Chains A and B, each alone.
Chain A
Amino acid sequence: NAGVMQNPRHLVRRRGQEARLRCSPMKGHSHVYWYRQLPEEGLKFMVYLQKENIIDESGMPKERFSAEFPKEGPSILRIQQVVRGDSAAYFCASSPPLAGIIEQETQYFGPGTRLLVL
């Protein structure tokens, strides 16, 4: 059973360009979470999505960042007009559909995408 997949693993962008990060959840998982880890800092929650719905975006910067999880295909985290401060590791996690079982809410993480803005 393949784990959470993220691509690309490394992404280099110049200031002002767009960055698109993709996340394919584990098979059977319908919940996706995005976290960001700035250099030498801890992971910070960004957004939580279910298929075609944003459930919690309390950690998303108000501008330039957006996320989607379409009915078909991977979840996408999009950063428009990147700046140097966006350089970070972006991790995606997934969890199964809720079924009233505690173990179903465990989040499993992908390997991350390392974004470098020049």
Chain B
Amino acid sequence: DAKTTQPPSMDCAEGRAANLPCNHSTISGNEYVYWYRQIHSQGPQYIIHGLKNNETNEMASLIITEDRKSSTLILPHATLRDTAVYYCIVRALTGTASKLTFGTGTRLQVTL
């Protein structure tokens, strides 16, 4: 699976949009971009995933650049409960389920 690079930490004011970048310049054509978050030692929580089109669900939006070398997770209106470590994971889905490889993630701190 391709390696990802994320900033170690970010701050965001409550109510503002949180934009979390991820670089995956060596991504292959069959690899998806997945985002998970881990809130203070809880189990990781799935957020969203995408291949090349932008995706949106009730939690977040995922913007993938046209060349797929980077992506941005957007939390449109961050709340204090969004404070967590956010992991960007690139993963090939080949018809056989496979492990997730977690990096160090971005620690997002949402403040008042």
Chain A residues in the interface with B (C-beta under 8 A): 4, 31, 33, 35, 42-45, 48, 55-56, 58-59, 89, 91, 93, 95, 98, 100, 102, 105-112, 114
Contact = CB atoms under 8 A, between A and B. Distances in A.
B44 A109 contact: yes
Secondary structure at chain B's binding surface: helix, strand, loop or mixed?
loop
Interface in B18-57: 32, 34, 36, 38, 41-46, 49, 51
Interface of B: 32, 34, 36, 38, 41-46, 49, 51, 87, 93, 95-105
Contacts of B105: 42
Contacts of A112: 41-43
Contacts of B38: 43
A70 B104 CA distance: 33
Contacts, number: 64
A100 B95 CA distance: 6
A107 B96 contact: no
A109 B43 contact: yes
Nearest to A30: B97
Contact of A98 (B45, B97, B100): B97
Contact of A106 (B49, B96, B104): B49
A27 B43 CA distance: 18
B43 A4 contact: yes
A55 B93 CA distance: 16
Best-buried of B34, B49, B100 by chain A (most CB within 10 Å): B100
18 contacts: A33-B99, A33-B100, A42-B104, A45-B99, A45-B101, A48-B99, A59-B99, A91-B44, A93-B100, A95-B97, A98-B95, A100-B95, A106-B34, A106-B49, A107-B46, A107-B100, A111-B43, A112-B42
